[in-house]
Amino acid sequence: MNAKPTRMAAVIRDLQKHYVLKSETVRALRGVSFDVPEGDYVAIMGPSGSGKSTLLNLLGCLDQPTHGSFLLGDEDVAQMTDDQLSTIRASRIGFVFQSYNLIAQLSVVENIEVPLYYMGNLTAQSRLRSIELASMVGLGERLDHRPAQLSGGQQQRVAIARSLVNDPYFILADEATGNLDSVTTEEILALFQRLNDEGKTIIMVTHEDEVAQHAKRVIRLRDGEIQFDKPVVDRKVFTAEQIQEIAHNADVASRSAD
């Protein structure tokens, strides 16, 4: 029996990024190559200045490489115009930021729909999809809440639901748990694991070993190069019961806060 071929969410080859300043050229990425198969869960780590944000900006189609290729599906992002970049960014990449980046005036469902709005795709269907995603992240009873009426963990769950509304190639999470306490960090990591178990591809930048331990693979950068790229040994995996319990506790905590 033939195994089903693994599809790639992203293929990166010899990616380089040089920033040209007045007196010098900073080689922020010096030729980075790796594949991200669909369903992978990658933590990008490395010391300050090693190139993490630079790589994240390239993966998120926020910037163009100086050299190299980045295949997203069948398309080489490195060859795209600015307009093509913003289209692919809005349509096929799910961003989750440290600071949630929700719109204060919009409700939970409306925030989740924002990427569809930018694509001009708001339909009756998209409202249903948004409600479904809100329920999936445990906010089905808070559809009309505004961000200020939600805890940090709940706000980040809205952001995660929003990141999925476009059916992205991958979720790109930038220090997604950086603003959260340890209990809420667990809540978000349990959600990431559940999504990844369901086949979603996740690429996250983190400073914390504790967080990276939940990924399947760590890519560590040093001076703009890959120092190592290896599977996580003794990966921390939540059991189904733990995931349920964490979601239940989060719900109880937020009810008592209402």
Ligand X SMILES: Nc1ncnc2c1ncn2[C@@H]1O[C@H](COP(=O)(O)OP(=O)(O)OP(=O)(O)O)[C@@H](O)[C@H]1O
Nearer to ligand X, 1 or 20 (CB): 20
Distance in angstroms (rounded) separating the CA atoms of residues 104 and 146: 6
Q: Which residue has the tokens 């948004």?
A: 130
Choose the stretch contacting ligand X; rule: CB under 6 A; options: 18-26, 135-143, 229-237, 247-255. Answer: 18-26
Nearer to ligand X, 54 or 163 (CB): 54
Q: Could you tell which of Mg ion, ligand X, none binds residue 193, using a CB distance below 5 to 8 A set by kind? A: none
Distance in angstroms (rounded) separating the CA atoms of residues 227 and 240: 34
Distance in angstroms (rounded) separating the CA atoms of residues 185 and 177: 5
125: phi then psi, degrees, rounded to nearest 5: -60, -40
CB of 52 to Mg ion, least distance (A): 5
Nearer to ligand X, 146 or 222 (CB): 222
Binding mask 23-62 for ligand X (x = CB under 6 A): ---x-x-----------------x-xxxxxxx--------
Distance in angstroms (rounded) separating the CA atoms of residues 252 and 70: 44
CB of 53 to Mg ion, least distance (A): 3
Strand partners of residue 170: 93
- Strand locations in the chain, DSSP E? 8-20, 25-37, 41-45, 67-72, 75-76, 93-97, 170-174, 202-205, 217-222, 225-231
CB of 203 to Mg ion, least distance (A): 14
Q: Could you tell which of Mg ion, ligand X, none binds residue 50, using a CB distance below 5 to 8 A set by kind? A: ligand X
CB of 175 to ligand X, least distance (A): 9
Choose the stretch contacting ligand X; rule: CB under 6 A; options: 19-27, 96-104, 118-126, 183-191. Answer: 19-27
Binding site for Mg ion (CB under 5 A): 52-53
CB of 43 to ligand X, least distance (A): 13
Distance in angstroms (rounded) separating the CA atoms of residues 104 and 110: 11
On the CB side of 8, CA atoms within 13 Å amount to 13
Q: How many residues bind ligand X (CB under 6 A)?
A: 12
Strands 93-97, 41-45: pairing is unpaired
Chain residues binding ligand X by CB under 6 A are 19, 21, 26, 28, 46, 48-54
